[in-house]
Amino acid sequence: MLKDLTITEFLEKTASAEPLPGGGCTAALNAALAASLTEMVANLTIGRKEFQAVEDEMKEIAQTAAGLSKKLQNDIDDDARAYQEVLAAFKLPKNTDDEKKQRAGAIQKAFKNAATVPLGVARDALKIMDLASRAVAKGNQNAVTDGAVGVLVSRTAALAAIYNVKVNLSAIKDPDFVKELAREVEALESQVIEKEKQILDPLKI
Amino acid sequence: MLKDLTITEFLEKTASAEPLPGGGCTAALNAALAASLTEMVANLTIGRKEFQAVEDEMKEIAQTAAGLSKKLQNDIDDDARAYQEVLAAFKLPKNTDDEKKQRAGAIQKAFKNAATVPLGVARDALKIMDLASRAVAKGNQNAVTDGAVGVLVSRTAALAAIYNVKVNLSAIKDPDFVKELAREVEALESQVIEKEKQILDPLKI
């Protein structure tokens, strides 16, 4: 799996003239990174006398962030697999009318999945922004920069995932599906941009 | 070295209650990711008849991006090492006046290095934005989303690195050094934010 590659291997594979791993995988990886930075801020707070009042909240943040990081690590591969399925669908035979119909259906199904995977990443990245915001506001102030970086990274993870939803939507012919997802990513996009400002501006870093 | 860890190991190490790797390492990793995505767009363009007019430019972009990615992979460790040196300096003995003076000097030297490493990352991330911009504008349009993600990621890499410069500057007592770096990161910050808009808005993704 891609998450089992070393950093150097993953970067080399990204850089190569193969389309995978691409921007969608980067989005999932970035969301996982943001989750892990958030978990770190919580972990650097837990067990310290001066933060006893927020001990339970920090434990909950650490646990939720750890779960999201694990899920998002798998999304790196899910995103790659979804794109591979699109490519595979295009390679299906198209000699008869029946084959053409089946191929067209497989292509549409694959594009829908390729739009749905990054939509999940964008949703999770937004959740991570909220977790990071709480960790930064109430957690160990020595780690505030790490939490702030988590916010920046989750913002970019969400926007990158949204780009990948949009590019796949442009190939989907089901107007209801397109309308629903387009509406959701538009809302997510505004929330992400607004939230980044709301969290980071008051920190005055 | 950190770049030799698997993605999962790196994320677990980030999430742990150890301060390293932290936000500074994430900044360098993100800049390397952006460089690799940019290299991919160029590599997906090179050797294609329809892009023969930009073949040489794409080769130059691929080569420059590859060099930056390699450099930035080492910056992941350099950033961690710089912070470890700060911690080590604080642990120096301070029993005599002479020891106190030496310790204070070592702390200041370590903080200066800890500010300089992420400054280099921020400068490189800005270079990558320019490379990604050219790759997106002139390269294989099938990879435009990957290039656009590269722009998002280099923006966040630069801002994350700038946060790390600033947090270290706040501990440095040499006013000329602080003034010079503060001025540079302020200029970099505006350029990065402006450039992201300039490159991504016209793409209308």
Contacts of A65 in chain B (CB under 8 A): 15
Contact B165, B115 (CB under 8 A): yes
Determine, for residues B145 and A22 on separate chains, whether the beta-carbon distance falls below 8 Å: yes
Q: Which of B73, B143, B156 is the closest to A11 by Cβ?
A: B73
> For chain B, which residues score pLDDT lower than 70?
none
Rounded Cα gap, residues A82 and B146, in angstroms? 16
Q: Which residues pair with A6 in a beta bridge?
A: B6
Q: Which of A8, A65, A143 is the closest to B4 by Cβ?
A: A8
Q: Does the ipTM surpass 0.95?
A: yes
pLDDT value at residue A19: 86
pLDDT value at residue B70: 98
Determine, for residues B27 and A145 on separate chains, whether the beta-carbon distance falls below 8 Å: no
Give chain B as a 3 state SS string: CHHHCEHHHHHHHHHCCCCCCCHHHHHHHHHHHHHHHHHHHHHCCCCCHHHHHHHHHHHHHHHHHHHHHHHHHHHHHHHHHHHHHHHHHHCCCCCCHHHHHHHHHHHHHHHHHHHHHHHHHHHHHHHHHHHHHHHHHHCCHHHHHHHHHHHHHHHHHHHHHHHHHHHHHCCCCCHHHHHHHHHHHHHHHHHHHHHHHHHHHHHCC
Q: What letter does residue A91 receive in the DSSP assignment? A: T
> For chain A, which residues score pLDDT lower than 50?
none
A19 CB neighbour count, 10 Å cutoff: 17
**Of B123, B39, B24, B4, which Cα lies nearest the Cα of A13?**
B39
pLDDT tens track for B159-202 = 999 999 999 999 999 999 999 999 999 999 999 999 999 999 99
Q: Which residues pair with B6 in a beta bridge?
A: A6
Determine, for residues B65 and A15 on separate chains, whether the beta-carbon distance falls below 8 Å: yes
pLDDT tens track for A15-38 = 999 989 999 999 999 999 999 999
pLDDT value at residue A137: 96
Determine, for residues A148 and B163 on separate chains, whether the beta-carbon distance falls below 8 Å: yes
Q: What percent of chain A has pLDDT over 90?
A: 98
Rounded Cα gap, residues B148 and A23, in angstroms? 8
Q: Which of A14, A152, A159 is the closest to B40 by Cβ?
A: A14
pLDDT value at residue A63: 98
Backbone angles phi, psi at B6, to 5 degrees: -75, 165
To the nearest whole Å, the CA of B87 is away from the closest chain A CA by 13
Smallest CA–CA distance from B164 into chain A, residue: A145
